[in-house]
Chains A and B, each alone.
Chain A
Amino acid sequence: MSISKSFSPVKLIILFLSMVVLCCLPFVVSSFVLRIATGIMMWIGLALSWNMLGGYMGYISFGHGASFGLGAYIAGMLMTQLHLPFFVSLLIAGILTYIFAALVGYPTLRLSGSYFAIGTWAFAEMMRQLVLVLTITGGPEGLRLPPMLNDNFFYFVMFGLALLVFMVAYLFFEHSDFGLKVKAVREEETAARTLGLNTTWVKNQVFALSSMFAGIIGGAFAYWITFIHPDSVLGPLIADQMVIMVLLGGIGTLFGPVIGAIVLYVGNQYMLVMWGQSSAYLIILGLAICLVILFLPEGLMSLLRILRGRRRGIIKRLLPGMKKSNI
C-alpha cells in the first residue's frame, strides 16, 4: 500500500495547507499562543508514542513517563556536565532510551494485561525514587539546564518531533507488515506465535521504539523548560496524561491521540489561566477518564465516525439508486 494511493487529492491539499499554516504559526501569533502550540505538539508526540504500545499492541503501560523522564535527564546531564550541543544530546538521549527500554522490555514484556500495567507502574515509580536519591542527577534539587529563550526554535523542534512520530505511526503501524504483526499481537498473541511470528521481537521493538520517542521528546522538553525535577518529569501525571489523551481521542487510531492531545492540553491551559495552578485539574482528569470509558469507549474518533455514518445514511436515503462507491 503506497502513500499516494491512500490519500485522495483533496486530503493531500488539506494536509499541505495545514503544514503551511503550522510552519507560519510562529510569525503570526503571540508568544503566549506559541507556547501553547509548542505544548500541544509535544503532547501529540507523546500520546502517539504511547498509542504505539497501548493502542496498536494492546499493552497498557502506566509507566511511560519513565522514558520521558529518562530522556529529559540524559539530555539534561549531557548538556550540563559534558556541554554537548542540544541536538547531539537529543540524539544520544534517544539512542540510550531505546537501548534501556529494549533491556527493560525483555523481562517486562513477559507480563501481560494487568500485571504489565502494575509492572510498568512500579518500574516508573522506582525510577523516580532512584533519581531522587542519586547525586549525579541533582536529587530532589532538580537539574538546571542552560537557558535558551527562543520560542520559535522550540516550536519547530516540537513540531518536527510530533511530525516524526506521526510519520512513524503512519508508515510503520498503519501501512506496513510490521503494523499488522503488532496488531496480531494485540488481537491474539498465542495464535500469532503459532503462525510463526516472533512475538518477543515484535513486542520488544514496539516497546523500545515508543520509549525512544518519549525519551527524545523528554530531552527537548528539558531544554525548553530549562529546569527539571523528578516530580515534574518522572511523576505519575506525565504517564496519566498520555493514557487519558489516547483514551479520549480513540485508542488504536492514528488521529485519535492527536485529537485527544489537543483537547486535553488546551483544556488544561484554559484551566491554568482561569483558576491558576489547581488540584481541581486532577478532578477533571479523573472524571474525563471515567466518563470516556463509560460512555465513549472508542473515544472522540467514534463520535466522528457516527456523525459520518449518519450523513451517509441520509444521502443513501435521498438517493436510493446511487452506487455505494460514489458516496
Chain B
Amino acid sequence: MGLFMQTTVNGILIGGIFITIAVGFSISYGVMHIVDFAVGEWIMLGAFTAFWLNQYTKIDPLLLIPFIALFFALVGYLFQPIIQKVVNIKHRSAAMMALAFTFGLSTLLRGSALTLWGFNNRNLVTMLSEMNVNLFGITVPAIRAAATVFSIFVTAAFAFFLYRTKTGITIRAAAEDKTVAGLMGIDGHRISRLVYAIYVGLTAMSGVFIGSIFSVFPDMGLRYTAFAFFVVVAGGMGSFSGAIVAGLLLGLISSFVSVYVGGAYVFLILFFILYLILVFLPKGILGKGW
C-alpha cells in the first residue's frame, strides 16, 4: 500500500510539470498550426542554460527561472518570423514543410548540444535537491513538490491571461479563426509572435525543473518531445482541461510502469498508448480538441 501511494504521489507530482509544457505547446499549435518537433530541445536548452549559469554565477537554478523564461521568450520572439516565413511559403504542402522545418530545427539543436557538451549526464543541483518532505509516511522530494506548485501557479496565471485579459482574448480569437480575427482588426502576425514567445519561454522554464528533478543531457529532448506530444494528443490539441488530465495521466502511467513493470517498458507503453489515442480518439480523451 505504501509503495502504491508513493507511486501515485510521484506520478501526480511529475505530471504537473508536463501540464505547463502542454499548455504552451497546444496554444502555439492553435495559433500557428505548427506541430513543433523541437519542443523537447527547448526544454534541453532551458536546462542547460540553467546549468551553465549556475556553474559560472553560483546562483541557485530556481532563482534563475524568471531570467530563463524571459530570455527564451525573447529568443522565441526573435525566431518566430523565420517559422512564419516557412508557413507562408508558396508550396502545395506548406504545413508539412513547416513540420519538417521544426524537425530540422530539433536535429540542429540536438546536434549542436551534443557537439558542444558531449554525451555526459549533468546534475542540476538546487537548494531543494537534498530536501524531502514526509507526509503520512510518504516521502515527497521537495523539488518535485516545488515544481508542481510552481507549474500549477504558472498554468493558472496563463489561464487567467488567456481568458480574462484583452490580449488573451485576441489570442484565443486568432486560434479559433485567424481570418475572421484578422477582419476584426487583430494583427495575426503580432499574436503569433507573442504566442510563440510565451510558448518557448514556458517550455524552457519547465526545462529547469525537469533538469533538476532528473538530469541534464543533450539527448534528453527526444524523450520530452514524446511526452509533450503525448499530453497534447491525449488531451486534444488546444484543450486546457484536456492538457491537465493528460499531464496527470502521463505522470501516473510513467511512474506506475517504471515501478511495477520495469523502466525499459515505459516508452514502449507510452508510445503504444499515444498511437492508440491518435488512431481511435483523435480529438483527445475528453473529446475537446480541435
Contacts and interface: CB of A to CB of B under 8 A. Distances in A.
B279 A293 contact: no
A60 B275 CA distance: 16
Interface stretch (A68-76, A113-121, A153-161): A113-121
A279 B115 contact: yes
B226 A125 contact: yes
B272 interface: yes
Contact of A286 (B85, B93, B111, B278): B111
A288 B101 CA distance: 10
B282 A111 contact: yes
Interface string A220-243: 000000000000000010001001
Interface string B84-97: 01100111110111
Given A111-B282, A286-B106, A279 B35 contact: no
Interface in B238-290: 264-265, 267-268, 271-272, 274-275, 278-280, 282
Nearest to B97: A293
Nearest to B282: A115
B135 interface: no
B99 A111 contact: no
Given A119-B278, A126-B271, A285-B111, A132 B264 contact: yes
Nearest to A127: B271
| B111, B115, B264 interface centre (most CB from chain A within 10 Å) | B111
Nearest to B113: A279
A304 B89 CA distance: 20
A240 B279 contact: no
A278 B101 CA distance: 22
Contacts of A133: 264-265, 268
A294 B96 contact: no
B111 A281 contact: yes
B14 to A, nearest CB: 20
Nearest to A246: B100
A279 B264 contact: no
Contacts of B265: 129, 133
A110 interface: yes
B112 interface: yes
B111 A289 contact: no
Contact of A60 (B99, B108, B109, B268): B99
| B110, B229, B279, B280 interface centre (most CB from chain A within 10 Å) | B279
Interface string A65-105: 00000000000000000000000000000000000000000
B111 A290 contact: no
A247 interface: yes
Nearest to B272: A126
B43 interface: no
A256 to B, nearest CB: 14
A241 to B, nearest CB: 10
B6 interface: no
Contact of B108 (A111, A236, A282): A282
Interface string A287-323: 1111001100110000000000000000000000000
| A113, A133, A281, A297 interface centre (most CB from chain B within 10 Å) | A297
Contacts of B103: 62, 240, 243, 289
Given A122-B278, A247-B100, A286-B105, A187 B35 contact: no
A142 to B, nearest CB: 15
A293 B101 contact: yes
B229 to A, nearest CB: 6
B99 A107 contact: no
Contacts of B267: 125-126, 129
A170 interface: no
B125 interface: no
B182 interface: no
B275 A123 contact: yes
B278 A129 contact: no
Interface in B194-235: 222, 226, 229, 233
A240 B107 contact: yes
A114 B229 CA distance: 11
B3 interface: no
A21 interface: no
Interface of A: 58, 60, 62, 107-108, 110-111, 113-115, 117-119, 121-123, 125-126, 129-130, 132-133, 186-187, 236, 240, 243-244, 247, 278-290, 293-294, 297-298
27 contacts: A58-B93, A62-B103, A107-B280, A108-B279, A111-B282, A115-B282, A117-B96, A119-B279, A122-B226, A122-B271, A126-B275, A133-B268, A244-B104, A278-B115, A279-B111, A279-B114, A280-B111, A281-B111, A286-B104, A286-B105, A286-B110, A289-B104, A289-B108, A290-B101, A290-B108, A293-B100, A297-B91
